[in-house]
Amino acid sequence: MIRINIKTGNLIKVKSFTTFDSLIDFARLELSMLIGNDLPTFINEADALASKIWNTNVGQSIKTDMGHIISIAGKSRAGHVMLGDK
């Protein structure tokens, strides 16, 4: 599980992902933009961004080409820990 803060301008969004695949889907839909008809390159770049986010350490941040600043708020191997389950 990973929890990230996404800052765009003055707006901050908090998102949580329980699987890497859900982060990939989010990166493809929200954090990347298709320019022209080059779908394979778009998918590769979105997947690379998701991988970079997933592998970034807690407390660190990265900046995307679209101007988002993504900081890693927390990680947990057992998703139930961050969700408050016992």
Question: In this predicted structure, what is the pLDDT of residue 78?
Answer: 57
What percent of the chain has pLDDT above 90? 66
Asked if pLDDT for residue 37 goes beyond 90, the answer is: no
Lowest mean pLDDT among 51-55, 57-61, 62-66: 62-66
Q: How many CA atoms lie within 13 A of 44 on its CB side?
A: 4
Distance between CA 6 and CA 61 in Å, rounded? 10
Q: How many CA atoms lie within 13 A of 85 on its CB side?
A: 6
Q: How many domains does the chain have?
A: 1
Nearest in space to 31 (alpha carbons), one of 54, 12, 8: 8
Nearest in space to 27 (alpha carbons), one of 59, 64, 2, 56: 64
Nearest in space to 18 (alpha carbons), one of 86, 85, 75: 75
Q: Which of the four pLDDT bands, split at 50, 70 and 90, describes residue 86?
A: very low
Which residue range forms the structural domain that includes residue 10? 2-83
Asked if pLDDT for residue 85 goes beyond 70, the answer is: no
Question: In this predicted structure, what is the pLDDT of residue 8?
Answer: 92
Question: In this predicted structure, what is the pLDDT of residue 38?
Answer: 84
